[in-house]
Amino acid sequence: MQFIRRTASAISARVDIRLWLGCLILGGVVMGYALARSDIMGENRAVLTAVVGLVGVVVGVVGVSRSVASVSRLSGRPIGLGEMVREARLQRGVKVVAMGGGTGLPSALRALKEQTSNITAVVTVADDGGSSGRLRRDLGVLPPGDLRNNIAALADDESLMTKLMQYRFDSGELAGHAFGNLFIAALSGVAGGLTEALGEVERVLNVRGRVLPATLDDIKLVADIKLPNGRILRVEGESKIPELGGTIEQVALIPEDAAAHPESVKAILEAQLVVIGPGSLYTSILPSMMVKGIADALRATNAYKIYICNVATQPGETENYSAADHVMALERHIGRGVFQAVLVNNHYPEKNAGPNTRYVAPPPEHHEIFQRYEVRMTDLTDDARPWRHDGEKLARAIKELVIVHRIGGGFV
């Protein structure tokens, strides 16, 4: 708890620097005015005003210096004035909600956190595989894996605590477990619930934003899958769905009336920008959007909403899918009017792609989605791993849409 208090103090010091800078600037303005208009103000009055301005400058300089020293001491590394000013600007950035899960959403968060600190990630809790699945079965907790990955994406990548949260045991009875999963599960019991636990973890890691579950209910994902012989088979469990090698006809949640986390709904309604994806269409994105209340909030919000289509198809989920197929699958499950724009990759490099990469094809030229959505196509591929999105390219594409649509405040 001492570490948490120290981290909270560091965050507070970052906020205080805005006040000290304001004091410094105001003092400079007052002093400059007094010197420039001394002939009108009179000598005595001008001197008194200049002294007041000088006091403001001195107080501001001392305050800034102390804030910088405080943050550096509490963070355990040197913090420059430029970095603190930048963070103050980020705190005034556009309010963003990012939705999804898996490995795709963290890439979007890493891009977004360089533009604003007002980020809320709304994450699926349907995972039942790996470490999350084991903790879910053994302890009856909501799966923490996707939550942990997205918290880490919003934290300092070089932080020792971030590396510790992502550390995975490779031997013994804990083999396969990520330390962060165990930490979140334990903290949920100590802090009184998952939401409280996530808040404590975010303070420890000095996260730029927050991460919330789409629902606090214990949900399972089921799918109707058409096998090669034409038979339709219902499969229960997110981790089992891609294994059959058939075609996914429909997915659903059990229970169907699982309620959205109120904080997640509130964040969507207050957002200025909503980013959906990237991520596994059927096992990451839809499980969060099908929670009762989420799609309604997306329709009700005044935010500009962008769906980011995957760069590559996924075996067992979206084989041979075009970008239009992704959008149509979303419409089949949650209806229309949930987002306004679709961001699509149109670059298909062979270098570093490997033999198994199958790129998502662009939508056919006259497809009906062009009538309902603003479809923006651009290069989004990572040069080293072209089946994934490049963070800088993704941030640039989102920023262009923000600027075009004059979303409140814009990006910094």
| 287: its two tokens | 């499980």
Quick one: how far is CA 228 from the chain centroid? 37
Ordered DSSP codes for 366-384: T-THHHHSEEEEE--B-SS
The count of C-alpha atoms lying within 13 angstroms of the C-alpha of 52, restricted to the half-sphere facing its C-beta, is 11
C-beta neighbour count of 229 within 10 angstroms: 6
Q: For residues 187 and 153, what is the distance between their CA atoms, to the nearest angstrom?
A: 20
Residues lower than pLDDT 50 in the chain: 1-15, 71-77, 81, 84-86
Q: Tell me what pLDDT residue 73 has.
A: 44
222, β-bridge pairs = 236, 252
pLDDT at 76: 47
Residue 91's pLDDT is 62
Nearest one of 170, 166, 171 to 183, comparing CA atoms = 166
State the pLDDT at residue 382: 94
- pLDDT at residue number 2: 41
The whole-angstrom separation of Cα 240 and Cα 225 is 11
Residue 93 pLDDT: 81
Length of the chain, in residues: 412
Write the DSSP string, 6-28.
Answer: HHHHHHHHHHHHHHHHHHHHHHH
Is there a contact between 282 and 314 (Cβ–Cβ < 8 Å)? no
- Global confidence as pTM: 0.78
pLDDT at 266: 97
pLDDT in tens, 303-339: 999 999 999 999 999 999 999 999 999 999 999 989 9
Q: What is the pLDDT of residue 50?
A: 67
pLDDT tens per residue, range 256-280: 999 999 999 999 999 999 999 999 9
Please tell me the predicted confidence (pLDDT) of residue 308.
97
SS3 278: coil
Q: Minimal CA–CA distance to 188: which of 201, 178, 176?
A: 201
* Tokens 């999963």 sit on residue: 181
Phi, psi values for residue 199, rounded to 5° = -60, -40
